[in-house]
Amino acid sequence: MPPKSPLAPETFPDLPVIAGVRLSAVAAGVKYKNRNDVMLAVLDPGSVVAGVFTRSATRSAPVLDCQAKLAGEGGEGAAILVNSGNSNAFTGRAGDGSVAAICAAVSAATGLPEERVFTASTGVIGVPLPHDRIIAKLDEAVSALSTEAIADAAGAIMTTDTFPKGAFAEVSVGGQTVKIAGIAKGSGMIAPDMATMLVYMFTDAKIGRADLQKIVSEANARTFNNITVDSDTSTSDTLMMGATGASGVDVTGNADFATAVEDVMRDLAHQVVRDGEGATKFVTVTVTGAATDADARTHALSIANSPLVKTAIAGEDPNWGRIVMAVGKSGAAADRDRLTIRFGDVLVAEKGWVAESYAEEQGAAVMKQPEIPINVDIGLGDGSATVWTCDLTHGYITINADYRS
């Protein structure tokens, strides 16, 4: 077990209770011993659920099942069951069978129809999921359901994570308050689309399914889809958000609510990067002046995914030449002689040339910080994008040359 990331928040946040959501965590021994590895969430009748998922062509059986069920209208409440230790991915027809068996058992234990039971699995790929172990613990999980158990749930879904991840927001709408709380797991195999993770968010706001889906999809494009640890994309990426309506406050069309959802998602996305395998630096890559926003994102991801950029950052080396290289190889439009590169506020290079004002000590000082802003202006247009990543260290090699994920 690697030590806690040096970039981890000091404490897990005190997440608010979301009325209409009960959670529990139990130890089913799917793979890990002596720890919780299953979380159950049950949303009251009237809840709606939205979601976004990996676009991998080799998505796991639970992802395919969730996507099919989300197409329905719902409204009857929902259950979400997640296990860690085994991803039930590339497990053939047996994988579909495990999903069906779990959904039937959760339906029987909770009284919800099967089409309102959503599952996810995270861990080793290609090993049959011992779903009997999970089903044997369902009664215990249902009995333990509580409005206070979200922190336990955040712990149960961890795999190589070194800390549990949570975030929340409260929004005032017409003098009344609605709450949003979310948890996430993920630390490797992290890249768009969408960062390799499981994310569950809940709110007591009242909103239609389609409206919630739109908010979640749009915020996802600016948050989880703009983080990368290692450019690898999981077969199991899942983000689901349930709205119970228990507050009675209708947030349809409310911009503050949408902003708060995005804020919680960005917070969780940053925590995933901060727990990037072996990470010692949190890096924000901002590209401006690209021909289009899409070009800006292409450049930013090329920089953020470059092993040579990431190892330079690990070595606290202000190696801006590697950033020029990454811009050049991205495939998006660029002109060597119009590039401007800044580390934080330090002007490093401009007009195809190191800046006259630049001294290497200035860049080196920025590189020593735990949080490093890399700002690149392409000099061609108005396109911009921000991507978050971490460095590439010996820790990443140690974790991934040994861990069988």
Active site residues: 196
CB of 298 to a copy of itself, least distance (A): 11
Size of the site for a copy of itself (CB under 8 A): 68
Are 238 and 50 a contacting pair, CB within 8 Å?
A: no
Q: Which residues contact 92 (CB under 8 A, 6 or more apart)?
A: none
Is 405 annotated to bind a ligand? Reply is yes
Residue 294 interacts with a copy of itself (CB under 8 A): yes or no? no
Please report how the helices 92-110 and 61-70 are oriented relative to each other, as an axis angle in degrees rounded to 10.
Answer: 50
Residue 278 identity: G
Cα distances (angstroms) measured from residue 100 to each of 115, 132, 156: 10, 12, 22
* Span interacting with a copy of itself, options 2-10, 30-38, 119-127, 210-218, rule CB under 8 A: 119-127
- Please identify which residue in 19, 144, 291, 333 interacts with a copy of itself, judged by CB under 8 A: 333
Residue 327 interacts with a copy of itself (CB under 8 A): yes or no? yes
Choice between 45 and 352, CB closer to a copy of itself = 352
Are 322 and 308 a contacting pair, CB within 8 Å?
A: yes
Are 70 and 49 a contacting pair, CB within 8 Å?
A: yes
Is 119 annotated to bind a ligand? Reply is no
Rg (CA), the chain: 22
CA distance linking residue 75 with residue 115, whole number of Å: 11
* Span interacting with a copy of itself, options 12-20, 26-34, 201-209, 396-404, rule CB under 8 A: 396-404
CA distance linking residue 121 with residue 2, whole number of Å: 22
Residue 314 interacts with a copy of itself (CB under 8 A): yes or no? yes
Instruction: Please name the helix (run of DSSP H) or strand (run of DSSP E) that holds residue 150, with its range, or none.
Output: helix 150-156
Is 88 annotated to bind a ligand? Reply is no
CB of 348 to a copy of itself, least distance (A): 9
Residue 288 interacts with a copy of itself (CB under 8 A): yes or no? no
- Please identify which residue in 4, 35, 329, 368 interacts with a copy of itself, judged by CB under 8 A: 329
- Assign 212 to helix, strand or coil: helix
Site string for a copy of itself, 61-90 (x = CB under 8 A): ----------------------------xx
- The secondary structure of 278-337 as a DSSP string is T---EEEEEEEEESSHHHHHHHHHHHHH-HHHHHHHHTT---HHHHHHHHHHSSS---GG
CB of 86 to a copy of itself, least distance (A): 11
Choice between 137 and 322, CB closer to a copy of itself = 322
Side-chain-side CA neighbours of 242 within 13 Å: the count stands at: 28
Are 238 and 53 a contacting pair, CB within 8 Å?
A: yes
Site string for a copy of itself, 120-149 (x = CB under 8 A): ----xxxx----------------------
Residue in this structure with the two tokens 């409260």, named with its chain if needed: 170
Q: Among candidates 20, 115, 18, which has minimal Cα distance to 73?
A: 115
* Span interacting with a copy of itself, options 21-29, 177-185, 285-293, 386-394, rule CB under 8 A: 386-394
CB of 10 to a copy of itself, least distance (A): 27
* Span interacting with a copy of itself, options 32-40, 166-174, 178-186, 327-335, rule CB under 8 A: 327-335
How is residue 17 annotated by DSSP? Answer: P
- Assign 250 to helix, strand or coil: strand
Is 196 annotated to bind a ligand? Reply is yes
Is 185 annotated to bind a ligand? Reply is yes
- Please identify which residue in 317, 340, 379, 381 interacts with a copy of itself, judged by CB under 8 A: 317
CB of 382 to a copy of itself, least distance (A): 19
Choice between 47 and 87, CB closer to a copy of itself = 87
Cα distances (angstroms) measured from residue 328 to each of 123, 226, 337, 347, 387: 36, 20, 12, 19, 18
Residue 379 interacts with a copy of itself (CB under 8 A): yes or no? no
List the interface residues with a copy of itself, window 225-254 (CB under 8 A). 230-235
Residue 261 interacts with a copy of itself (CB under 8 A): yes or no? no
CA distance linking residue 305 with residue 302, whole number of Å: 5
**Contact residues: a copy of itself, CB under 8 A:** 54, 56-59, 89-95, 124-127, 188-189, 191, 230-235, 305-308, 311-312, 314-315, 317, 319-322, 324-330, 332-337, 339, 349, 351-354, 392-394, 396-398, 400-402, 404-405
Binding-site residues = 159, 185, 196, 277, 400, 405
Binding-site residues for substrate, please?
159, 185, 196, 277, 400, 405
